[in-house]
Amino acid sequence: MTTQRSGPVYLNLLRIRFPVGAVTSIAHRISGVLLFLSLPVLIYLLDLSLQSPAGYEKTMSYINNGWFEAGLGLVVWSFMQHLLSGIRFLLIDIDKGVTLQAARSSAWLVNLCAPVLTLLYLWWIL
């Protein structure tokens, strides 16, 4: 007679291999949260830069900080990832690219193009 263990099972999420579509879906959710959380900071900087020439200079000093540039890179990646995966999900909603191979290909395309477009954009503005 075998006994089954009724205690909790340790689940190591780092050892689970998610399909590429699941990674894209999770990245879409994370990028949406990051965009939402960055809105107050971006609105504050816009308001500060429009108040006066001194406010503009203060905003530029914030933007030229290395930590802020790293945060800006994260926000730009969030925007690119959210935009591209949103377009992918909208196309899937209208039955374009719903086959397994097309869905995997579009997920890989989104996951590769978002960082590339982010780097190109940051290289262009910085």
pLDDT digits (tens, 9 = 90+) for 62-114: 988 889 989 999 999 999 999 999 999 999 999 999 999 999 999 999 999 99
Residue 8 domain flag = no
- How many structural domains are present in the chain? 1
Radius of gyration over every alpha carbon of the chain, rounded to an integer in angstroms: 21
pLDDT digits (tens, 9 = 90+) for 107-121: 999 999 999 999 999
Residue 85 domain flag = yes
Q: Write out the residue range of the structural domain in which residue 82 sits.
A: 20-125
Does the pTM exceed 0.85?
A: no
Residue 99 domain flag = yes
Distance (Å, whole) CA 24 – CA 64: 31
Residue 1 domain flag = no
Distance (Å, whole) CA 13 – CA 60: 41
Residue 25 domain flag = yes
Residue 7 domain flag = no
What is the domain-level CATH number for residue 61?
1.20.1300.10
